[in-house]
Structure 1
Amino acid sequence: MREDRAVKALLAAVVVIWGLNVVMVKFLVGHFPPITLAAVRIGAATLLLLAILVWWRGGQHPSFRQIPARSWLYIIGAGVSAIFLHQTTLAMGLQTANASTGSLILALNPLVTGLLAYFLFREPLTWNRVLGLVMGFSGVFLVVAGDSMLEGNGRFLFGKGEWLVVAAMLFYVAGGLFVKKAAETVSVVAITAYMHAVGTLCLAVASVFETQERGGVTWPADWFVWTVLLFSAWVATGLCGIWWNNGIQKIGAGRTAMFLNGMPAASLVFAVLLLGERMIWIHAVGFVTVLIGVYLGTMNPRRPVANLPTSLPSKQVGH
């Protein structure tokens, strides 16, 4: 029970830091092309993660050669989907998609993850989690609706950019399920380090094409820009990546994903504090609803809504 509370506390911290990271990335996009920024950020995070892996190995974390071939498939799948494809489609989508709409789409992650974890891994689907999903999504909707009210349009547009954000959300969900399978035989530190290495290689190749298309990249000379980038890479991406994957391993993909409901609210708080954006009453209602939803959705499983038939063959991600 105490370990469960510690895992949840770390996941809550991750959500707060990721909320701040949205503001930081928004700042950094003004100084780097989107895919190149992702390549530099993920690359810096990978260096830190590989250093941690070497430092903490001590026989606990498997070396490159000790990881089974099937686990490597899951790790590569996580790196390609949750790192490369997620970062690429999100960056491309948010170039044209409304930020409020994008936040709402990304908030579907816990719902999709919970349902897939139920069908693929037989993680229990309790009434508490169902209610938590509904309340979490409703709270996110209120936060996003508040953004729309402030912008004065009060409506959501759904075009090419929005569909790219949908793809980004699905890629991240798929990556979490790959991590779930890989964590059965490999430590989360090794998984996180190697999946980020895979993502870095893919992003580096993509950034070469982006640079050629733009005719080159002008690197910023301001030290503050690079400080923000390194904090985003080492803390928000590297350390938080380990804590997040540890949550998937310890309490399951579905319960871990519930914490993502709080990310749009955290992002809005930091946007108000750091970017001077406004907050109205509907945001406060949304925050409370999100927090209640996360609490309900991450409670220890009790009475399941339904049990999967035991005659069904177990499924594996990627098959």
Structure 2
Amino acid sequence: MHKGVIYAFLAAALFGASTPFAKLLVGQMAPVMAAGLLYLGSGVGLLAWYALRSIATYGREKRTDGLKGRDLPWLAGAILFGGVAGPVLLLVGLMHTPASSASLLLNMEGVLTALLAWFVFRENFDRRIFLGMIFIVSAGILLSGQLGSELGTPWGALAIIAACLCWAIDNNLTRKVSGSDAVQVAGIKGLVAGLVNLSIAFSLGYAVPEARSILSAGIVGFCGYGLSLVMFVLALRHLGAARTGAYFSAAPFVGAIMSLWMLGDIPGNVFWISAVLMAIGIWLHVTERHGHAHTHLPMQHPHSHLHYHDSHHQHTHDFPWDGEEPHNHAHQQQHLVHTHAHFPDLHHRHRH
């Protein structure tokens, strides 16, 4: 299986498993406080990992894929939408929505991510990918209709869909910096988003939760938001935003299963019909194949890469290289024309 797909499914599993745990936190503190602690746990944990990794490799490995000045506007926008607005809207939605149904509604993130990627950022797509998205959208609409009949006005569903839109914008902006160090990107996003949300919570007069609740939020945030985001950034690097969002649609199924087990939610027939429709949509995406003759233009960028068995990285080195792979340095992509199956990764963001 393509490593980008593996990264995307790992991101999905980690985030999906965090949904029922996040719902438990909502009962213990205000949504904005919970969002702040979840992201703060993510940011502190990842930046600690980043620091320890730097210390462990000091003098042995010089990484060149750190964030640059040109990356900061894209990262700031991603933090605003995905790290501040999105989590608060999700937690507000969870207050009015069963966790299993909320987990399936989160599939809308993949749909909205793809729509933005296709029509705003111009990623390629074909009829198979489009048909898969129709199945996922149909499932989301069906589930939202069920919530509307149960709750009178589907404010919980609308809040979750709004959170998905924020994350869709975040995903497409993060794609712009996905060639940078994934741990650094995710750590900064988590730390800034956590501090902003906590500042809002304290300004609204919310008290500091109990130490046990803070610790629980930190652990859930590090695993479900931090590690998940690292995997997601790596998937963006290899797959592009639309396909990563589609594979990430597996996350709600993980959350739904855990919600049924942990929280005792009892889904009705509409839930299962929606699940089948979403499963068909995900299957159409996972089984997609795309290949044609394409041209690589000269481009310089830094990221971890291989040389053997990779025609895209047949460059020379201006420093002594011991042959160890993968390795990380700024390199020049040469002009190249060839044909093979590919995704819209760092080297295949060409027009069709």
Q: Give the TM-score normalised by the residue count of structure 2.
A: 0.70
1:121 match: secondary structure = coil
CA shift, 1:233, in A, is 1.5
Q: Is the 8 Å Cα contact of residues 79 and 199 (structure 1) preserved in structure 2?
A: yes
Task: In structure 2, list runs of 5 or more residues that go unmatched.
Answer: 55-60, 293-352
Q: For residues 177-204 of structure 1, what are the alpha-carbon distances to aligned partners after superposition, in whole Å with 9 as ceiling and x for unaligned?
A: 11111124x2222211122222123112
For residue 255 of structure 2, the aligned residue among 233, 245, 267 is: 267
Alpha carbons 1:35, 1:207 under 8 Å: kept: yes
d(CA) in 1 for partners of 2:248 and 2:142?
A: 15
Evaluate the alpha carbon distance shift between residue 220 and residue 263 of structure 1 in structure 2; reply closer, same or farther with a 3 A threshold: same
Report the CA distance shift for 1:174/1:251 in structure 2 as closer, same or farther (over 3 A): same
Give CA deviations for 1:228-277 in whole Å, capped at 9, x if unaligned.
42331121111111001111111010001113433333322212111112
Q: Which residue of 2 aligns with 1:171?
A: 166
Distance 2:253 2:187 in 1: 29
Per the alignment, residue 220 of structure 1 pairs with 210
Report the counterpart of residue 157 of structure 1 in structure 2: 153
Change (3 A) 1:104 1:17: closer
1:60 paired with 2:82, answer: no
- Deviation digits for residues 265-297 of structure 1 (CA, Å, limit 9, x no counterpart): 332221211111223454444333322211212
* Higher alpha-carbon Rg: 2
Q: Which residue of 2 aligns with 1:70?
A: 70
* Of 200, 203, 206, the match for 2:197: 203
Structure 2 Cα separation of the partners of residues 141 and 163 of structure 1: 11
Residues of 2 paired with 1:275 and 1:88: CA distance?
21
Measured in 1, the distance between the counterparts of 2:248 and 2:284 equals 14
Query: Which digits, 9 at most, give the CA deviation of each residue in 1:71-98, with x for residues without a partner?
Result: 0111111111110121223334544578
1:182 matched residue in structure 2: 177
- Give the corresponding residue for 2:240: 252
Q: CA-to-partner distance for each residue in 1:209-234, whole Å, 9 max, x for gaps?
A: 13x2x4x34x336x5x5564233112
Moved more, 29-38 or 124-133: 29-38
Name the count of aligned residue pairs: 286
Alignment of 1:1-319 (within 5 A): 2=1, 4=2, 6-57=3-54, 58-60=61-63, 62=65, 67-95=67-95, 106-141=106-141, 148=147, 153=149, 157-159=153-155, 163-184=158-179, 186-210=180-204, 212=205, 214=206, 216-217=207-208, 219-220=209-210, 223=212, 225=213, 228-302=216-290
In 1, distance between residues paired with 2:15 and 2:108? 16
284 and 102 in structure 1: CA distance in 2 versus 1, 3 angstrom threshold: closer
- The alpha-carbon distance between structure 1 residues 92 and 275, as it changes in their structure 2 partners (threshold 3 A), is closer
Summarize deviations over 1:94-114 as a string: whole Å, max 9, x none.
445787886676432222221
Q: Distance in 2 between matches of 1:144 and 1:13?
A: 27
Change (3 A) 1:23 1:97: closer
Q: Distance in 1 between matches of 2:123 and 2:109?
A: 16
Q: Partners of 1:163 and 1:283 in 2: how far apart?
A: 17
Match of 1:307 in 2: none
Give the distance between the partners of 1:279 and 1:208, measured in 2 at CA.
Answer: 37
CA 1:48 to 1:24, structure 2 compared with 1: closer, same or farther past 3 Å?
same
Q: Shift of residue 138 of structure 1?
A: 2.9
Q: Confirm or deny: 8 A CA contact 1:49 1:189 kept in the other structure.
A: yes
Change (3 A) 1:158 1:33: closer
Q: Which has the higher helix share?
A: 1
- Report if the CA contact (8 A) 2:135-2:278 is conserved: yes
User: Do the aligned partners of 1:79 and 1:197 also contact (CA within 8 Å) in 2?
Assistant: no
- In the TM superposition, residue 37 of structure 1 has moved relative to its aligned partner by 1.5
What is the match of residue 316 of structure 1? none
Identity in percent:
20
**Higher-strand-fraction structure:** 2
Q: Distance in 1 between matches of 2:123 and 2:103?
A: 26
Structure 1 CA distance for aligned equivalents of residues 5 and 152 of structure 2: 33
Could you say what secondary structure the match of 2:120 adopts?
helix
Q: Distance in 2 between matches of 1:248 and 1:283?
A: 30
